[in-house]
Every structure is written in C-alpha cells, then in structure tokens.
Amino acid sequence: MDARTLTFGDVVKYHKTILQLVGIKKCSRETDSYEAIYNGPYAVQAMVNDESIEPVAITPELLEKCGFESFLGIENRQCWLHKQTGLLLRGGGFGIYELELENGPVAIEWNVRWIHQLQQAMRLAGMVDPANHIGEILQESADV
C-alpha cells in the first residue's frame, strides 16, 4: 500500500495491528524516499510504499463498532446509518459500499471499500472528529 494515498488520521493495518497515520517525513536529501509515521499500541515508521502496510476493509462488524446501525433498505439491500453524522452506507457487491451523505450544502456519493476511504469522505464533508474517532475505536479493538 502506498501511504501517499492516505491523510493524517487514516487507519491502516501493519503486521495485523491497527495504526493511525500521524506524519510523513523525508528520509534523506539525496533520495526521494519518505517514511510514514503511525501511532498505535506502539509507534511505527515505515517506508511509504511498504508492502507490510495494508488497508482495513469495511465489514458489518466494524461498522457496528463505529456507531453505525444496520437496517434493510430499498430492494432489501443491507444499509448502515451513522446517526451522529447522517452518513448512509448501502451494501454492494465484492465488499464495496455505496456512501451517501448530505451535510448542509455538501452532498457526497462515493464507492468505498476501505476504512480510510470512509474516513476521508467524512472529513471531506467536515466531519473530522467522527472520522478520527473511528480510528480510536478500531485501535481499541483487538479482533480487526
């Protein structure tokens, strides 16, 4: 996974441990290499293209831990609503979820598969605290 696709606060998995991106630094002036800095049960510095860094898939279990409530929507599609933010996810095929959000003048429709994509969509709509709170919840969970 390339950390350049992430923003601060995004959640990833590093050797089966949930971590949150907290910084990126240049390794040296001579090379064009960067390290991503993650915070979790322990701090980690890894090359931004480190293959041991993986995205965290959205699952119904993770959605429930993050405060989403499940219900059956139109055409009996499984849906999840985050009441605090009004964010709606509709289950799609192949682990992809359709995200719908109306927050004042902002309306977002986006296909998401990974937790960091969900967090980025929430931040785009101005929901920074709930997006970062997802990271805190997942770091506390040992069975991700």
Q: What is the pLDDT of residues 43-54, one digit of tens each?
A: 666 666 667 778
71 vs 1: which has the higher pLDDT: 71
| Rounded-to-integer distance, Cα 44 and Cα 41, Å | 9
* Residues 6 or more apart whose Cβ sits within 8 Å of residue 80: 60, 63, 64, 68, 69, 70, 71, 88, 89, 91, 97
Indicate whether 41 pLDDT > 80: no
Lowest mean pLDDT, pick from 41-55, 76-90, 111-125? 41-55
Q: What is the pTM of this model?
A: 0.76
**What integer pLDDT is reported at residue 103 of this predicted model?**
62
Distances (CA, A) of 38 to 13, 41, 80, 101, 140: 10, 10, 29, 28, 15
